[in-house]
């Protein structure tokens, strides 16, 4: 379940920062390594800060585990990935650099989707192949 940030409510309570901790099911279609899948939900640990101009900064980590077949030798492999995510939200429409938000509420879906795409590796290696590649 992905929470939303209630900017209007926060401002009303004179609260300009907060943290969010939640997990959600990843969109499997973002992952295109053959024979690899998400081993469980994606975990997000985020903090947010609301600035005077009502721009919102969101940062933190998303983490998840991939499991499946090694991209080199097809042996069982798994890897935990922790990614530092950061995004800015401004009132109105998306403008390419910042995400937009309307009705005083920041929705995190698109930001999380983009962060997950950046976080995903292009392949998964088992321990032996990882070692072999690093030699
Ligand atoms: Zn391997």
The reported pTM is 0.91
- Specify burial of residue 7 (Cβ count, 10 A radius: 0-12, 13-18, 19+): buried
d(CA 134, ligand 1 centre) in Å: 13
d(CA 76, ligand 1 centre) in Å: 8
d(CA 7, ligand 1 centre) in Å: 47
pLDDT digits 0-9 by tens, 99-133: 999 999 999 999 999 999 999 999 999 999 999 88
pLDDT higher than threshold 90 for residue 96? no
d(CA 61, ligand 1 centre) in Å: 28
Write down the pLDDT at residue 8: 94
Write down the pLDDT at residue 77: 97
Rounded Cα distance, 40 and 16, in Å: 32
């Amino acid at each position: 379940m992905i929470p939303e940030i209630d900017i209007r409510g926060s401002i009303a309570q004179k609260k300009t920062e907060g943290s969010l901790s939640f997990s959600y099911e990843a969109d499997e279609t973002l992952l295109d390594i053959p024979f690899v899948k998400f081993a469980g939900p994606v975990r997000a640990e985020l903090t947010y800060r609301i600035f005077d101009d009502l721009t919102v900064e969101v940062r933190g980590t998303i983490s998840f585990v991939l499991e499946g077949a090694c991209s080199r030798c097809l042996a069982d492999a798994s890897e935990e990935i922790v990614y530092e995510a950061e995004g800015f939200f401004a009132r109105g429409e998306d403008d390419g650099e910042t995400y937009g938000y309307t009705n005083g509420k920041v929705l995190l879906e698109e930001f999380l989707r983009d962060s997950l795409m950046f976080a995903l590796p292009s392949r998964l290696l088992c321990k032996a192949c990882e070692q072999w590649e690093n030699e």
